[in-house]
Structure 1
Amino acid sequence: MELTKKGMTREAIFERLAEFRRNDIKWQEGRTYGYVFDPGSEVMAVGKAAYNEFLSENGLDFTVFQSLLRLERELAAFGARHLRGDEQVVGNFTSGGTESIILAVKAARDCYRSTHPQIHVPEIILPATAHAAFHKAAHYLGVKAVTVSVDPQTFRADVEKVKAAITKNTIMIVGSAPSYAHGVVDPIADLAALAHEKGLWMHTDACMGGFLLPYFRRLGEPVPDFDFTVPGVTSISVDLHKYAYTPKGASLVLYRNKGYRKHQIFACSGWIGYTIVNNAVQSSKSGGPMAAAWAVLNYIGDDGYLDIARKKLASVKKIAEGINRIDGLRLVTHPDMSLISFTADEVNVFHIVDEMNSRGWYIQPSLSFDNSPAHIHLSVNASNVGWEDELLNNLAECVDIARKLPEGELVSLVKESLKGMDMAAISDSDIMNLMAAAGVSDGMLPSRMADINGVLDLLPTRVRETVLTVFVNDMFTQP
C-alpha cells in the first residue's frame, strides 16, 4: 500500500473496505457456528456507540482516564459476583481469553518464583483438551506445559492422570469449564482438591462458559461447580465477547484475592521516561472495548441473558438430538453447554465440512489429537436459533454426498510418503511443495479444504505446527 498524495474521500475509503471483506463469511445471516457471537443489530448498535464514545481514551494511565478505572472495577466486580466470589475477589479487564490466560500463568509463575526459588523450569499440567492459549503462555513465559490424556468416553480431565503428572516443579493445574473442543466441564472440584492438597495453583478456564453456565444452572441444567465456591480455585478466566455478546476484545481474569493478583502486575521505573505500571499485557489500549462491554451487559440485563440462554439451550438440545439421528454421524460426547462436537466413523468429516460450507454454512473442522477423533465443531450462539431444521437437513444431505467422495490423491500420496519419511528432517521447501500440491498458491487457499485438513490430520503434531508456521509466514507478506 502507498499513501495517496491528497488522501482518499470518505466514500472511496469505505468502498475499499467493503471490497476487502467481500470473501469473508456472511456471519450476519445466522449460519455461522464459530468465531462471531452475534447479539442482533440492536444490541450491536449499543456496543458500537459505547465503543466509539471511548475510542480515544487510553488505558495506559488510569490516573489520567479515571473513567476507565471505574469501568474496569465495575466489570471485575460483576465477574466476581457472577462467579460467586466473595468481596476479596479481584480482577482485570483484558483483550481476550488468551491474554487472560497468559496473565494467570504469569501470576502463578511469579508467585512460585517468590516462594519456591529452587524451581527453575516451572510446569503446568494441562488436560489434552485445555485451550491452546496455555501452550502459548508456556512458550512465551518459559514454562513447561505437561499434557495428560483425558477420559476417552467423557473427554473430561482424568484426575488420576493429572495426579500422576505432578512433579517437584509443578506450579499449576488447569481445568476447563467447558473445554472448547467438546463442550464438557472438567471435574473442577476434584482438580482443585488435588491442587490444594499439593500446594498448587488451580486455574479454571471459563472463557467459553463462565458467563453462560450460571444461566444454564438457573434453567435447571446439572452444571457442576467450577467457580469461586470451589475451595482451591485460585483464578478464573472468563470472556465477555463470547456469550455475553459484547464487542471484541473483552475478557476478565479473576483472582481469589489481591495476594495472588499482585504477581500479574508489571511495573518499571528503570528507564528515562514516565513510570510504567501495567495490570495486563498491553500498555496503550483503547477504552472502547471496556465501555462497550459495560454498555452491552447493562443493556441486555439479567432477564435478557436468561431468555437468550433458554432459547440457546433448546437449540443445542435439538441439534444434538438431530445429529444422533443422522445415519453415519454421532456425538463425540454429550455437551454440557452450547459447544457441540460430532464425528463420522465411516465418512470423511472434512468432506462434510466442505459440502456444508459450500451451502453457505460455516462449521469448523477439528483435527484428531490424543484420544479425540477428527470431528466437526459447532459453537451455537443467539443468531443460530431458528436455523436448526435447515442445518440438520443440509447436514444429512452433505453426509450422503461425502460418503461417495473418494480420498484425495494428495492424502493417499502423503500416506505413502510418511512410511519412509524422517519427520525431523522435513524442510521448509518440502512444506512449500506440499502446500502447492494441495492447491495453496500466492497466499490463496483452495475453495475445498478436505485434502489440506486430511494431510494435516495425518502428520505428527510438531510437524503440523511446522507446516502451519511456514504457511502463515508465507501468507503475511507484501501483496
Structure 2
Amino acid sequence: MEAEVVQMALNMFHGGPNGCGTMTTGGTESIMMACKAYRDYAREVLGIRYPEMILPITAHAAFDKAAQLYRMKVVHTPVDPVTFRADVNAIKWAINGNTCMIVASCPGFPYGVIDPIADIAALGLKYGVPVHVDACLGGWVVAFMETAGYKLPVFDFRLQGVTSMSADTHKYGYAPKGSSVILYSDPKYREHQFFVQPDWPGGIYASPTLAGSRAGSLIATCWSTLMYYGKDGYVEATRKIVEAHKRIQKGLRQVKGISIMGNPDACVVAFNSDKFNIYLLSEAMTKRGWHLNAIQFPPGLHICVTYLHTLDGVTDKFVTDVEELVTEILKNPGANVGGQAAIYGLAQSIPDRSMVSEMARCFLDSMYVLKEKDDRK
C-alpha cells in the first residue's frame, strides 16, 4: 500500500522512471528526511564536511528544525518585499562549496505564493546542487490545478533541477492526520535517507524514516482515501477551492483599510493593514468563529482556504465579517490591545529573540501542567 501511495504521488508530480520515495508521518518528517538525505549525500558522496542549506526566509520552520537536529548550517536568503517570492539572485550569491541543498516553496505557508521554482531549479542544475520543492501545504491542490483549468508555472519533476518534493496527504489529500510523502528524482538520494545499523546484537536494524515502528493503519487509510477520491475527485475539489480562494481575494481587496500581501497563488490569502493593528482584527474575528493565523515581519493575518470554505455563502460571510469589523476598528484604531494582538505586537518589538524563544518554551511547558485534584473534598 505504501509503495502504491508513493507511486500515485510520483504520477501526480511527474516523477520520471527513476522516481522513488517513502511515506512519513507528516510534513515535518518529510522535510527532515530530505535534509538528512542531502546532508549524508554531501558528506559521503561529495566529500563536504560541513553541509549547508539555502533557505528563503519564508520556507517552513521545519527546515530550521532539521538543521538544528542534524547540525547543518542554514543560509537564510531574503524574499522580494512586494511579491514575497524567493529572491533568485540572493540564492545564487549564497551558493558555495558547502551548499548541499536549496529549498523552494509551492506554495509558501505565510503568503500562499509560489517561489520562482524554474529559476531556482536552473541554478541548482548549473551548480550541481539538489533542489527541494516543499509542497507540504498545497501539494494536493497545485498538482491538479492545471487539469482543473488554471495556469500555473511548472514546479515539479518536469524541471530537471528539481530533485525532491514533500507533500502532505493529510491536508488537501484528506487522509487522516499523520501521513505525508517525500519523493526523490533518483534512488541515489533516497538511500541516504535510510538508517542502517548492521552490527547491533539484536539483529540488522534498518528503517526508511525516523520512526522505528510505523502505524500500518495510517498507511492503509491514506491509500483508501486516495482511492476513494481518485483523480476526478481531487480535480473537482481543487476547482472549488481555487474559486473560493479567488472570491476571498477579490472581496478583501474591496475592504477599506485592508491590503493583500503579495499575489497569492494557492491555498492561502494573507493580508495586513497600514491603518490599524491587524491583530485587533484577529481577536475580533475569533469572537465570530473565524480562526485566522497570525504572521509576522511584517505583521499580518492569513486564512487557509479549505473545502469547508467552498460551501454556499461561507466566503461571502467571511468577507462581510471582515468588512464590518474593520469598520468598527477604524472608528478607534488606537484602542488598547490585548490577547493575541498584544502578544504578537510585543514579540515583534523585542530585539533579543532569545527572550521570545524562552516565552514560547514556557508556553509549551504550560501545556503539560495538570490541574491539581483534591481528593479530600
TM range (shorter): over 0.9
Match of 2:203 in 1: 274
Pairing of 1:284-295 with structure 2 (within 5 A): 284-295=213-224
State the alpha-carbon separation in 1 of the partners of residues 102 and 195 from structure 2: 23
- Is it true that 1:399 corresponds to 2:326 in the alignment? yes
Paired amino acid for 1:383: L
Out of 378, 388, 391, the position equivalent to 2:303 is: 378
Deviation track 1:350-384 (CA, whole Å, cap 9, x = no partner) reads 1100000011111111122xxxx211111101011
State the alpha-carbon separation in 2 of the partners of residues 234 and 143 from structure 1: 19
Paired amino acid for 2:172: Y
Paired amino acid for 1:80: L
Paired amino acid for 1:275: I
- Is it true that 1:454 corresponds to 2:348 in the alignment? no
State the alpha-carbon separation in 1 of the partners of residues 39 and 91 from structure 2: 19
Out of 85, 91, 98, the position equivalent to 2:21 is: 91
Paired amino acid for 2:258: L
State the alpha-carbon separation in 2 of the partners of residues 121 and 109 from structure 1: 9
Match of 1:242 in 2: 171
- State the Cα distance separating 1:271 from its structure 2 match: 2.6
Preserved CA contact (<8 Å) 1:216 1:223: yes
- Is it true that 1:476 corresponds to 2:368 in the alignment? yes
Pairing of 1:316-355 with structure 2 (within 5 A): 316-355=245-284
State the alpha-carbon separation in 1 of the partners of residues 139 and 340 from structure 2: 33
Preserved CA contact (<8 Å) 1:101 1:134: yes
- State the Cα distance separating 1:300 from its structure 2 match: 1.4
State the alpha-carbon separation in 2 of the partners of residues 222 and 147 from structure 1: 30
Paired amino acid for 1:310: R
Preserved CA contact (<8 Å) 2:51 2:73: yes
- State the Cα distance separating 1:276 from its structure 2 match: 1.7
Match of 2:357 in 1: 465
Match of 1:113 in 2: 43
- State the Cα distance separating 1:231 from its structure 2 match: 0.8
Pairing of 1:37-48 with structure 2 (within 5 A): none
Give secondary structure in 1 for the equivalent of 2:303.
strand
Aligned length: 367
Paired amino acid for 2:367: M
State the alpha-carbon separation in 2 of the partners of residues 104 and 470 from structure 1: 30
Preserved CA contact (<8 Å) 1:367 1:456: no
- State the Cα distance separating 1:315 from its structure 2 match: 0.7
Structure 1 unmatched ranges of 5 or more = 1-70, 410-437, 439-447
Match of 2:316 in 1: 389
- Is it true that 1:73 corresponds to 2:3 in the alignment? yes
Preserved CA contact (<8 Å) 2:350 2:356: yes
Preserved CA contact (<8 Å) 1:348 1:402: no
Paired amino acid for 2:301: I
Give secondary structure in 2 for the equivalent of 1:212.
helix
Preserved CA contact (<8 Å) 2:132 2:162: yes
- State the Cα distance separating 1:457 from its structure 2 match: 2.1
Give secondary structure in 1 for the equivalent of 2:139.
coil
Preserved CA contact (<8 Å) 2:30 2:166: yes
Preserved CA contact (<8 Å) 2:140 2:234: no
- State the Cα distance separating 1:347 from its structure 2 match: 1.2
Paired amino acid for 1:309: T
Match of 1:364 in 2: 293
- Is it true that 1:194 corresponds to 2:123 in the alignment? yes
Out of 306, 311, 316, the position equivalent to 2:240 is: 311
Give secondary structure in 1 for the equivalent of 2:356.
helix
Paired amino acid for 1:378: I
State the alpha-carbon separation in 2 of the partners of residues 104 and 266 from structure 1: 13
- State the Cα distance separating 1:193 from its structure 2 match: 1.1
Paired amino acid for 1:397: E
Match of 1:68 in 2: none
> Which structure would you say has the larger RCO, counting Cα contacts within 8 Å and 6 or more residues apart?
1
State the alpha-carbon separation in 2 of the partners of residues 286 and 395 from structure 1: 42
Give secondary structure in 1 for the equivalent of 2:140.
coil
Preserved CA contact (<8 Å) 1:189 1:231: no
- State the Cα distance separating 1:273 from its structure 2 match: 1.3
- State the Cα distance separating 1:210 from its structure 2 match: 2.0
- State the Cα distance separating 1:462 from its structure 2 match: 4.0
Give secondary structure in 2 for the equivalent of 1:234.
strand
State the alpha-carbon separation in 1 of the partners of residues 250 and 350 from structure 2: 33
Any runs of at least 4 consecutive aligned residues in structure 1 with deviations exceeding 6 A, and if so which?
A: none
Deviation track 1:183-221 (CA, whole Å, cap 9, x = no partner) reads 111111111111111111111111122221122112332
Paired amino acid for 2:45: T
- Identity among equivalent pairs (%): 37
Out of 167, 177, 184, the position equivalent to 2:96 is: 167
Paired amino acid for 2:236: D
Q: 1:407 to 1:135 in 2, by over 3 A?
A: farther
Q: Bigger radius of gyration, 1 or 2? A: 1
Match of 1:13 in 2: none
Deviation track 1:115-166 (CA, whole Å, cap 9, x = no partner) reads 233x332110001110001000101100011111011111111110001111
Preserved CA contact (<8 Å) 2:148 2:236: no
